[in-house]
């Protein structure tokens, strides 16, 4: 019924990406039941968000409207705009201290933390924030349609003042004529766009890719005691508990073999030459061969930033690598990583075990 009314009257709908209905029944799944219906709001940008502050079955939805494009928060990055790499190298070179002690694992963790913070802060201060780009360009309507819009607004204003039936009839006439002209204009514009597509400039392939692009909506997760995880923090905690439960040492199946392995590990090693230490020329060589489009890690330090490290930073990084060899200890800060859960096919994605 509602769907038919929306189609017959040409209404628009605005709905959030996340569920707004959280059933308490174990056999029912969350869904989007709360949405907005709009009419005549062309050229206005919307952003709908689900608020998980309340604990009822229906979550409130916040709708933000703006005449300009609503900019979403970009992903975190150390160098979002133009970066002065000369200033970056000079500033980082002035804060690197090569006389820090590197004898114990605690010294190594402290040195790695200070080096990471120095690179991050210097990269931020050396980069200028990008200028926000708002899409303020309106559709270039023909002159006769612009005149029709002006006449329709005057007729509506006159009818609202006088309330005469003749003025209302004149206003509805102009509104109907304007709708017809706008429909013809949109149809002609779309036909011109279709004709302009070509295989020589990739415009045809790009348009086809946009049409076939699929957007996956986030699936809700259920706690072991049946309540739903509504916020991102709850979902992350569920995944963390699931990964902690499955990443466990395998049970010991052969005690005799395990004892032999332990004896071999505890036996003294024969005298051998220590491994060759890293040299300050090997570290830049490895950095230059990093993939240029590789995503940064937890510290947001990209390969582009590493390529502009000054000589003093390269020497300090070389000392860190050699300390790892000497102490056989890997820094704790370099063990952090982003984990992206991938849903398993042909599974109901309401349980953490349905992801890998």
pLDDT tens per residue, range 23-47: 888 788 888 888 899 887 776 788 8
Q: Over range 218-224, report the average pLDDT.
A: 82
pLDDT at 17 over 50: yes
Q: Are residues 2 and 32 in the same domain?
A: yes
Give the residue among 319, 317, 324, 318 at the shortest CA–CA distance from 119.
317
pLDDT at 137 over 60: no
Which pLDDT value is given to residue 138?
52
Q: Are residues 40 and 113 in the same domain?
A: no
Q: Are residues 336 and 234 in the same domain?
A: yes
Split at pLDDT 50, 70, 90, the class of 198 is confident
Q: Are residues 52 and 114 in the same domain?
A: no
Residue 44 lies in a domain: yes
Lowest-pLDDT range of 4-8, 170-174, 283-287? 4-8
Residue 168 lies in a domain: no
Which pLDDT value is given to residue 102?
92
How many other β-carbons are positioned within 10 Å of the β-carbon of residue 201? Answer: 10
Split at pLDDT 50, 70, 90, the class of 132 is low
Q: Are residues 2 and 126 in the same domain?
A: no
Q: Are residues 16 and 66 in the same domain?
A: yes
Q: Are residues 65 and 116 in the same domain?
A: no
**What is the C-alpha separation between 120 and 105, in angstroms, rounded?**
23
Which of 51, 72, 93 is at the close of a domain? 72
Q: Give the domain extent around 49.
A: 1-72
pLDDT at 52 over 60: yes
Domain tally for the chain?
Answer: 2
Split at pLDDT 50, 70, 90, the class of 58 is confident
CB of 23 closer than 8 Å to CB of 29: yes
Q: Are residues 230 and 307 in the same domain?
A: yes
67 vs 1, higher pLDDT: 1
Q: Over range 100-118, report the average pLDDT.
A: 94
Residue 264 lies in a domain: no
pLDDT at 215 over 70: no
**What is the C-alpha separation between 42 and 24, in angstroms, rounded?**
38
Which of 72, 97, 113 is at the close of a domain? 72
Highest mean pLDDT of the ranges 18-32, 41-55, 133-147, 315-329:
315-329
Q: Are residues 238 and 119 in the same domain?
A: yes
Q: Are residues 118 and 233 in the same domain?
A: yes
Q: Are residues 348 and 238 in the same domain?
A: yes
Residue 161 lies in a domain: no
Which pLDDT value is given to residue 276?
86
Residue 219 lies in a domain: no
Q: Are residues 314 and 232 in the same domain?
A: yes
pLDDT at 133 over 60: no
Residue 178 lies in a domain: no
Residue 335 lies in a domain: yes
Residue 338 lies in a domain: yes
Q: Rounded to the nearest 5°, which phi and psi values hold at 337?
A: -155, 155
Looking up tokens 């090569």, which residue turns up?
98
Highest mean pLDDT of the ranges 14-18, 256-260, 279-283, 349-353:
279-283
Which of 47, 72, 97 is at the close of a domain? 72
């Amino acid at each position: 019924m509602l769907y038919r009314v929306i189609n017959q009257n040409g209404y628009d709908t605005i709905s959030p990406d996340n569920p707004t209905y959280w059933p308490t029944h174990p056999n029912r799944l969350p869904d989007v039941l709360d949405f907005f219906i709009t009419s005549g709001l062309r050229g206005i940008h919307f952003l709908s968000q689900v608020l998980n502050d309340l604990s009822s079955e229906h979550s409130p939805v916040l709708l933000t409207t703006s005449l300009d494009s609503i900019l979403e928060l970009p992903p975190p990055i150390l160098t979002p705009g133009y970066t002065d790499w000369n200033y970056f190298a000079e500033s980082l070179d002035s804060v690197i201290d090569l006389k820090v002690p590197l004898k114990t694992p605690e010294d190594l963790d402290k040195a790695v933390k200070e080096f990471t913070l120095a690179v991050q802060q210097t990269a931020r201060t050396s980069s200028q924030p990008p200028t926000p780009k708002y899409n303020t360009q309106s559709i270039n309507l023909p002159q006769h349609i612009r005149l029709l819009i002006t006449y329709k607004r005057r007729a509506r204003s006159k009818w609202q003042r006088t309330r005469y039936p003749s003025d209302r009839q004149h206003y509805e006439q102009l509104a109907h004529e304007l709708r017809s002209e706008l429909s013809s204009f949109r149809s002609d514009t779309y036909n011109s766009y279709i004709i302009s597509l070509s295989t020589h400039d990739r415009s045809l392939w790009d348009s086809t890719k946009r049409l076939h692009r699929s957007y996956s909506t986030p699936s809700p997760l259920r706690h072991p005691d049946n309540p739903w995880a509504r916020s991102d923090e709850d979902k992350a905690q569920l995944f963390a508990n699931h990964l902690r439960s499955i990443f466990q040492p395998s049970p010991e199946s052969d005690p005799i073999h395990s004892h032999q392995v332990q004896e071999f590990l505890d036996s003294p090693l024969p005298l051998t030459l220590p491994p060759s230490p890293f040299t300050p020329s090997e570290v830049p060589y490895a950095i230059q061969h990093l993939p240029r489009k590789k995503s940064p890690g937890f510290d947001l330090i990209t390969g582009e930033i590493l390529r502009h490290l000054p000589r003093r930073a390269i020497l300090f990084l070389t000392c860190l690598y050699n300390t790892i060899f000497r102490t056989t200890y890997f820094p704790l800060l370099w063990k952090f990583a982003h984990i992206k859960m991938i849903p398993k096919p042909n599974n109901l994605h309401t349980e953490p075990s349905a992801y890998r």
